[in-house]
C-alpha cells in the first residue's frame, strides 16, 4: 500500500475505488485469518453468490479492529461463496435458500458477540481504512454510525429511494442526516442500539432507522463511502426495480409509525393557524 502523502492524495484514492472492486485488499496477510474468541467488533456480511468479491470483503473487515469476528451469512448461493468465506476464517452461517432482502443482517446480528456491530455487504470490497471510522464513532459514543452517503443528488428529480430517505429524515426532524440511512452499508451499531431495536428489526432498515431516532439513540453520519459507485449494476425489469418498490414501501411504513407515535403533524407546529375559523 502506498504511504499516505496528503489529503488530496487520499481523495484521489477514494475516487478511484470504483475501478478496484475486483482487486483484493492486501494488508490481510498481516492479520490472523481467524475470528477472535472474545471479539470487540462483529462484522456482519450477508452474501448471495459473491464468490468473486467475498475474500476481499472479509480481508477489509478483518482489519477494523484487533479483536474482531467476521460473520458471513451465505444464503441462496450456488457458487463457492461459503467455501471461500470459511477459508478466510469467517464464521459462516449457511442457508441454502435466499433469506430475503436485508434479512441476513438480522441473522448475523443474532450470533454476533461484539460490543460493536459493523454491517457491510458481500458485493462491496471496502478497505479496513474506510471501515474503521464507523467503529471509531461508536466507540466514541454514537449508537448508530451511518455512511455519510446520500445517493446521487445531482438531478432535479432524484431516484425515488433517494427521495424517500431524505423525506423520512426530514419528517424525523433530522434534516442534517440528508439521505443517510440504515438502508445503506457500511454502518455500525452499538450493543445498546441492538438490544433496544432487536435483531429482527434490522431486516427492515428504514423502520429500524426511524425507531432509533424516535427512541433518542445517538444517530450520526460519520464517514462517506460512495457505495453507489461500488455497487454492481443490477438488472431492472422494464426500467423499474422491484426493490425500489419494497424500499419505498418500508419508508412509508416508517412514516406511518412516526405519525402514529407523534401525531398527524409528526410533531411539527401548526404556526398560528386558527383552524376553528372555518367550518
User: What residue ranges bind another protein (CB under 8 A)?
Assistant: 48-49, 75-76, 78, 97-103, 150, 153-158, 160, 162-164, 166-167, 170-171, 175, 203, 234-235, 237, 242-243, 245-246, 248-249, 252-253, 255-256, 259, 264-275, 277-279
Cα–Cα distances (Å) from 138 to 35, 94, 135, 143, 170, in that order, read: 21, 29, 5, 6, 23
Cα–Cα distances (Å) from 198 to 36, 48, 119, 145, 208, in that order, read: 24, 24, 15, 17, 9
- The rounded distance, in Å, linking the Cα atoms of 190 and 204 is 18
Nearer to another protein, 35 or 203 (CB): 203
For 256, phi then psi, to 5°, come to -60, -45
Minimum distance from CB of 246 to another protein (Å)? Answer: 6
Nearer to another protein, 25 or 93 (CB): 93
Minimum distance from CB of 47 to another protein (Å)? Answer: 10
Nearer to another protein, 38 or 260 (CB): 260
User: Three-state SS across 18-49?
Assistant: HHHCCCCCHHHHHCCCCCCCCCCEEEEEEECC
Minimum distance from CB of 268 to another protein (Å)? Answer: 3
Whether the CB-CB separation of 81 and 6 falls below 8 Å is answered with no
Nearer to another protein, 143 or 250 (CB): 250
Instruction: Count CA within 13 A, CB hemisphere, residue 10.
Output: 9
Whether the CB-CB separation of 16 and 91 falls below 8 Å is answered with no
Minimum distance from CB of 9 to another protein (Å)? Answer: 26
Nearer to another protein, 158 or 226 (CB): 158
- The rounded distance, in Å, linking the Cα atoms of 60 and 123 is 12
Nearer to another protein, 116 or 201 (CB): 201
Minimum distance from CB of 198 to another protein (Å)? Answer: 16
Give, as one character, the DSSP assignment of residue 114: S
Nearer to another protein, 40 or 95 (CB): 95
Minimum distance from CB of 253 to another protein (Å)? Answer: 5
Residues making up the chain, counted from first to last: 279
What are the residues facing 95 on neighbouring strands? Answer: 75
Minimum distance from CB of 34 to another protein (Å)? Answer: 28
Minimum distance from CB of 69 to another protein (Å)? Answer: 24
Beta strands in the chain (DSSP E): 41-47, 68-75, 91-95, 116-119, 144-147, 187-190, 219-223
Nearer to another protein, 94 or 268 (CB): 268
Amino acid at each position: 500500500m502506498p504511504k499516505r502523502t496528503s489529503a488530496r492524495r487520499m481523495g484521489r484514492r477514494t475516487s478511484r475505488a470504483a475501478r478496484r472492486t475486483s482487486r483484493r485488499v492486501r494488508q490481510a496477510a498481516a492479520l490472523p485469518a481467524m475470528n477472535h474468541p472474545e471479539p470487540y467488533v462483529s462484522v456482519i456480511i450477508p452474501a448471495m453468490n459473491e464468490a468473486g468479491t467475498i475474500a476481499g470483503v472479509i480481508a477489509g473487515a478483518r482489519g477494523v479492529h484487533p479483536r474482531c469476528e467476521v460473520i458471513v451469512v451465505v444464503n441462496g448461493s450456488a457458487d463457492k461463496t461459503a467455501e471461500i468465506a470459511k477459508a478466510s476464517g469467517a464464521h459462516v452461517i449457511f442457508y441454502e435458500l435466499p433469506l430475503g432482502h436485508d434479512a441476513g443482517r438480522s441473522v448475523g446480528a443474532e450470533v454476533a458477540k461484539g460490543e460493536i456491530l459493523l454491517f457491510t455487504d458481500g458485493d462491496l470490497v471496502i478497505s479496513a481504512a474506510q471501515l474503521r471510522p464507523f467503529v471509531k464513532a461508536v466507540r466514541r459514543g454514537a449508537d448508530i454510525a451511518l455512511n455519510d452517503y446520500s445517493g446521487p443528488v445531482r438531478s432535479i428529480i432524484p431516484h425515488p429511494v433517494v427521495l424517500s430517505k431524505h423525506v423520512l429524515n426530514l419528517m424525523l426532524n433530522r434534516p442534517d442526516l440528508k439521505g443517510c440511512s440504515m438502508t445503506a452499508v457500511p454502518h455500525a451499531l452499538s450493543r445498546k442500539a441492538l438490544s433496544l431495536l432487536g435483531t429482527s428489526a434490522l431486516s427492515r432498515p428504514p423502520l429500524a432507522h426511524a425507531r432509533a431516532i424516535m427512541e433518542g439513540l445517538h444517530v450520526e453520519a460519520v464517514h462517506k463511502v460512495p457505495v453507489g459507485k461500488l455497487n454492481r449494476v443490477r438488472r431492472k425489469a422494464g426500467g423499474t426495480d422491484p426493490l425500489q418498490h419494497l424500499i419505498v414501501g418500508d419508508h412509508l411504513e416508517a412514516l406511518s409509525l412516526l405519525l402514529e407515535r407523534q401525531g398527524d403533524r409528526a410533531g411539527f407546529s401548526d404556526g398560528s393557524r386558527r383552524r376553528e375559523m372555518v367550518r
